[in-house]
Amino acid sequence: MSDVLDLEPVKKELKRGDIKLETVKDAVKKYKDMGFELLKLLEYASKIAKGDERKEIERLYKEFAHKSLSDLCESLRRKARRLRENSKDGVYQRFFKDGSPTGTTFRLLELTRMGKRDEVFHLILREFLSSGEEVPYELMKAFDPIFPIEVFKVFIYSFVGGLSKPAEKPTTSGQGGDQDEQSE
């Protein structure tokens, strides 16, 4: 079981007007860990409960699981975006060169599509280690075997989607679109 979430240090620092990033990060990490453990407990409870209690526990489990999985997907996208923005020569360059996916990225996508979790893990770990960067905690969590393979795929696709450069919106000059339509 993870450490109990104690918000007193954060509250004390806030009252003093001297908040420390490490204290906040520690509280957030403990909160996330507790949520993940609660998810596992709810899953187990939903399998052993009987009657009406089982239905209610299953409902709670599904509600909590959906929220937790959505949060993890969004967190993976954000981490990947930060890698893209802050990693000029690091791990981002191993997956995208000049904004275009590399062969490694296509291999990652294909292995993910085939559900080869261990090979996906190896590929990602190799690229992070080669670039000297730490694998984000959230990305490591995506490989937990508790998650069904389809959920794992969504996690990896969310991460790769965050790495990819957003498509630039075409600018219209007022006449450009009309001329194309007229020539058809």
Q: Is the pLDDT of residue 171 over 70?
A: no
Q: Which residue type sits at 99?
A: G
> What's the pLDDT tens digit per position in 52-80?
999 999 888 888 877 888 888 999 999 99
Mean pLDDT of the 78-97 span: 86
Instruction: Give 1-67 as a DSSP string.
Output: -PPP---HHHHHHHHHT---HHHHHHHHHHHHHHHHHHHHHHHHHHHH--HHHHHHHHHHHHHHHHH
For residue 61, give both structure tokens.
Answer: 């489990």
Say if CB 137 and CB 36 are below 8 A apart.
Answer: no
* Backbone φ and ψ of 97, nearest 5°: -115, 120
Among residues 18, 14, 56, 64, the alpha carbon closest in space to that of 40 is found at: 64
pLDDT for 26-56, tens place per residue?
888 888 778 878 888 888 898 899 999 999 9
pLDDT reported for residue 183:
39
In the chain, what are the domain boundaries? 7-163
Find how far residue 36's CA is from the centre of its chain. 14
